[in-house]
Chains A and B, each alone.
Chain A
């Protein structure tokens, strides 16, 4: 017969030992190819080491052998869920080197496209996050259904569904198609209740709360020190958004709020994204109302750009954080050096720090809540 005393004695005589688990490179929760080398004590992570580079295409070296315009399609392939925003950051940097003044209509169109892409990107972030937590199918498919409408708009505007190559130096590829303003207004009317539905489905869901609240807390100071940006930083309580703090394009003309949470757990990061979608729709609505007449690009665009020798660094607020391009021009048609400061790269660096002491299932939750895209981490 096993008594309590013998059970305790047995448990004491057990020896536990740490072991290694390889998570990835092919793992559904890593959203790409990321390899985590986990040192485990039972179900608890003792140490997490990351191995990157599985998607490394050396885009920065390719940039040195392409003209400035030829490189725009490569930026699509960094953060492939937010191609418009990537185009925008790169093009703004080249325009800073060139000193180009962009027509106001083009700036408005850029804002509309960047914000719609932000909504599309956050929809995927939330859908896959819920999927990782075991909400199998429903939220993900709802999110993809909503995103499809946005992709349809992009398809009509520029002819592509994922890699847009739409925002060009001096403006945008083409003006909005006739009747597009009506379609975007309809889209906003369609998306608003759908976002509320998604909110009702997930945010206060008991299982969702149990899986995300208090999990993977990222303190404010640590977030800043590691260079974490975007919704992950705002989830930790830092109200910092380049659209408000260092306005570019025409963002200073619109009324919108920067959501921020307090605790820095997975739930807060999720809630910030949810609220950002509402705010993005507010911006799109104002931009489409105030869309001025005029040119959608600088007249007489040159095929080959030749910026004067110099250096420029421009940061923009991407769905995942601050995307910066640092370009050195030597006065020829190709950049001397292009550095991409990718938001997911810095966001990812903090995960080994907060992974310590988490259960492995919660690590999946943390990875999902950080919403990284390996395309821009590995470049």
Chain B
């Protein structure tokens, strides 16, 4: 199945989903994420793997990037969700793909995104006592020296 066919299929089912020009990623509003994810996982598309979940700090918002993979259909799809800095909350996908569990803990640890209904949302790489999220662009620490451009 071609990526464009999948995008058309999803766009037909969900009205407020758009496609990013450069990356051909689906841009999904936060409240629609679980619905789109369930559609991707079940039925004809059978995206059986959540291959990668990460975040990018864009200054005024956090961009979540989900990369799904269908091993039977041999195709992958990117999905993006933009979260404004003052409201970093989103539904967890760990009930659909267990791989989301640790990926979401990592994003929580490094970016401070809260995943709702996550079974065990703790920091995964940094100590539990930390209060900062080191992969944010505004992160500073006395030991961290940013190289000049």
Interface residues, chain A, with chain B CB atoms under 8 Å away: 52-53, 56, 58, 60-61, 65-66, 222, 224-227, 238, 240, 245-246, 310-311, 313, 315, 322, 324, 326, 328, 332-334, 336-337, 339, 341, 345-346, 349-350, 353, 378-379
Contact with A along B45-80 (1 / 0, CB 8 A): 000111110101100000001010001001000100
Interface of chain B, main secondary structure = loop
Q: List, in ascending order, chain A residues with CB within 8 A of B125's CB.
A: 52-53, 56, 378-379
A226 and B98 contact, CB distance less than 8 A: yes
Q: Which residue of A lies closest to B22 (CB)?
A: A310
Is B34 positioned at the interface, with any CB of A under 8 Å from its CB? no
Q: List, in ascending order, chain B residues with CB within 8 A of A324's CB.
A: 51-52, 67
Q: List, in ascending order, chain B residues with CB within 8 A of A56's CB.
A: 125-126
Q: List, in ascending order, chain A residues with CB within 8 A of B134's CB.
A: 58, 61
Interface residues, chain B, with chain A CB atoms under 8 Å away: 22-23, 48-52, 54, 56-57, 65, 67, 71, 74, 78, 97-99, 101-102, 110, 123-127, 134-135, 139, 146-147, 149
- Chain A nearest CB: distance from B12 CB in Å? 26
Partner of B23, one of A58, A311, A333, A341: A311
B98 and A315 contact, CB distance less than 8 A: no
Q: List, in ascending order, chain A residues with CB within 8 A of B97's CB.
A: 225, 227
B126 and A349 contact, CB distance less than 8 A: no
Q: List, in ascending order, chain A residues with CB within 8 A of B54's CB.
A: 326, 337, 339, 341
Q: CA–CA, A268 to B4, complex, Å?
A: 38
Report 16 cross-chain contacts, Cβ distance below 8 Å, ordered by A residue. A56-B125, A60-B110, A61-B134, A65-B146, A224-B48, A224-B49, A311-B22, A326-B52, A326-B65, A334-B147, A336-B56, A337-B54, A349-B99, A349-B102, A353-B98, A379-B125
